[in-house]
Structure 1
């Protein structure tokens, strides 16, 4: 049995016209001899009646601090509505389909409501439906505890659901359908001549996602990579081939290019904390433990004699400063920053990459506030007002157009 997992995002199921396109994608898969397993997100985006954020807002109108368990119950509704409607569309088109919740599909989680960790995936019920010739339409984003409590998987959970099911079912391929035709070399709203990538490695796309590109959740990439299942990012609304995500292999298109893409993450604050010169490393441990205990995520960490620098999400900056000043630290904050990153499997160990990076920004008089690099990524912190110019400059410098 050739199994194909097809995941459709919120815009792909938001209207009757969009759902008709989904039916056609599923019909094409059947014609190719696949047994598709369909995963759907809640319909639409924030502001639409059945979108997840809309449902959360409705619950918080009743109680601003509503319990996480109850929040998971209302968030469950978005995907259930979407799956029922999509199943109905398939049945009306003559395709035998059956709706399944995440729990019915065998996704077992712990009880960390709104951000549950998956413990196991039992594909038995899905396999039973496939043997009957039916197309399972599974609610993405959902799981269930061993004692029957509803849970959700956190942001990007529908992508994660698709990869989890693909891995459990030994799928031949996982297709992630969106409203764009593939992964691009930069945000096309900023770089008008950004290109669609034909192929990209698991590692590169995970880094693009971690650094701010809204393409696929990095956890979904990691799961697929563990089983070496190819992923394809493609559009529901066209026949473009999309972007194939594969292991880091000997594909010339992957290894010969220096950079793969430029991405950006806005709304970041930079924090500088003064510490004792002699006790820098000890005090930095206290600082980061304090922030971790407050559930404040940090990035772009630099530890120097006498001070520690790092970044946090803009909305967490005031809380971070309050926590640190309560411990007696002198902390300063730079608001309105952004992280800009160049990602590429070919940049590791190549002489002159950092020089090219800094030259591109200096040409436009963009101050670099902080830098960090890894095996496949170089990132800098710039002022938010400079972010679009920085993205364009780096895209041009690394010949991604």
Structure 2
């Protein structure tokens, strides 16, 4: 069996016209001699009747009494509806198709409701369906615990479902179909000259995803990287070849920088501390216990600097004040990150970044870096100008 996994996002299944294109994509793979395994997201976006956020809004009248278990059970319904619908549309075209929930597809997870991790996949039911001539259509974003409770994999979880099934089934590749034609060098809303990347490494696209690029979930890329499973990000609505994600160029890149990602709506937290090590430890321990995620962390003997999402500022300040710490907070910031395997051990990249932003009179409030990234914190009103300047400086 030459298995390929095809994942279709919410916009790809949102309308009858889009669903027609989805069915055509699946049939084309079948006619080319492949055994397609299809993964689908919930229909549409917030406001559409069966979208995840719309289903969650039904719990508003519960006044916060719905447990995480019940939330997962509710929001798993959106993908199940999509799976049943696409399977029925394939049947209407004369193709045998069978819809599966995540649990029926053999996806076993832990019990971390809302952000479950896949523990194993028992593919027997899918293999049996393929051997019987069926096209399996799997509800993405979900699985079940060993006790049989429904779980969800977190936002973007249908990408994770597709990559995990591809790895478990020994697929030749996984296609992630969406409403864009591939992964771009920058957000086209920010940079009109942004272009589609033909090929990108697993490591580079993972960094781009974690730093704000929204095209594919980083967990899906990490799963694919473990098995050297090629991923393709393509558009449902065009015949563009999209972006191939693979081990090549594996940090050996013809370009210094591959792309630019950004995360808006951040706040910088600055804390002046004494030399008391217990007090310093208390800062991060307090935030961790409160479930507050921090980023862009710089630690000095008498100063701790990091960022949080703007929506968590009040909670962050409240938790720190409980332990006698009053932070200085600056809102309205954006993290801009250049990503590229080609910068590894290449001197002068930071100098070029600083020079490009200085030329545009953009103040850098904070930086951090790794082997393949350099991030800088700027004011949100400067973000578009900063991304454009860096896009030009590194000739993307």
Q: Does 1:288 align with 2:294?
A: no
Partner of 2:197: 197
Q: Does 1:380 align with 2:380?
A: no
Q: Does 1:394 align with 2:375?
A: no
Among candidates 307, 313, 316, match of residue 317 of structure 1: 313
- SS of structure 1 residue aligned to 2:341: coil
Partner of 2:46: 46
Deviations 1:133-184 (A, max 9, x none): 1100000001011111111111111000001101110111000000000000
Give the root-mean-square deviation of aligned CA atoms. Answer: 1.2
CA distance in 2, matches of 1:353, 1:201: 20
Partner of 1:274: 272
Partner of 1:67: 67
Partner of 1:150: 150
Partner of 2:111: 111
CA distance in 2, matches of 1:65, 1:349: 52
CA contact (8 A) 1:162 1:174 kept: yes
Partner of 1:255: 253
Instruction: State the shift of 1:282 in Å.
Output: 4.7
Bigger CA drift: 300-309 or 99-108? 300-309
CA contact (8 A) 1:181 1:233 kept: yes
Deviations 1:73-110 (A, max 9, x none): 11011001111111111111111110000000000112
CA distance in 2, matches of 1:26, 1:284: 56
CA contact (8 A) 1:284 1:303 kept: no
CA distance in 2, matches of 1:88, 1:147: 30
Bigger CA drift: 53-62 or 101-110? 53-62
List gaps (5 residues or longer) in structure 1: none
Instruction: State the shift of 1:284 in Å.
Output: 3.3
Partner of 1:330: 326
Instruction: State the shift of 1:58 in Å.
Output: 1.1
CA distance in 2, matches of 1:91, 1:342: 46
The normalised TM-score by structure 2 is 0.98
Instruction: State the shift of 1:237 in Å.
Output: 0.6
Instruction: State the shift of 1:250 in Å.
Output: 6.4
CA contact (8 A) 1:180 1:234 kept: yes
Q: Does 1:264 align with 2:262?
A: yes
Instruction: State the shift of 1:31 in Å.
Output: 1.9
Deviations 1:120-145 (A, max 9, x none): 11111000000011100000001011
- SS of structure 1 residue aligned to 2:335: strand
Partner of 2:30: 30
Aligned residue pairs, count: 396
CA contact (8 A) 2:201 2:250 kept: no
Partner of 1:357: 353
Partner of 1:300: 296
CA distance in 1, matches of 2:144, 2:235: 30
CA distance in 2, matches of 1:29, 1:173: 12
CA distance in 2, matches of 1:182, 1:250: 19
List gaps (5 residues or longer) in structure 2: none
- SS of structure 2 residue aligned to 1:255: coil
Instruction: State the shift of 1:64 in Å.
Output: 2.9
- SS of structure 2 residue aligned to 1:186: coil
The normalised TM-score by structure 1 is 0.97
Instruction: State the shift of 1:246 in Å.
Output: 0.4
CA contact (8 A) 1:106 1:122 kept: yes
Bigger CA drift: 214-223 or 284-293? 284-293
Q: CA, structure 1 residues 332+65, in 2 after alignment: closer, same or farther (shift >3 Å)?
A: farther
Instruction: State the shift of 1:205 in Å.
Output: 0.2
- SS of structure 1 residue aligned to 2:82: helix
Partner of 1:228: 228
CA contact (8 A) 2:261 2:337 kept: yes
CA distance in 2, matches of 1:117, 1:130: 26
Instruction: State the shift of 1:63 in Å.
Output: 2.9
Instruction: State the shift of 1:352 in Å.
Output: 1.2
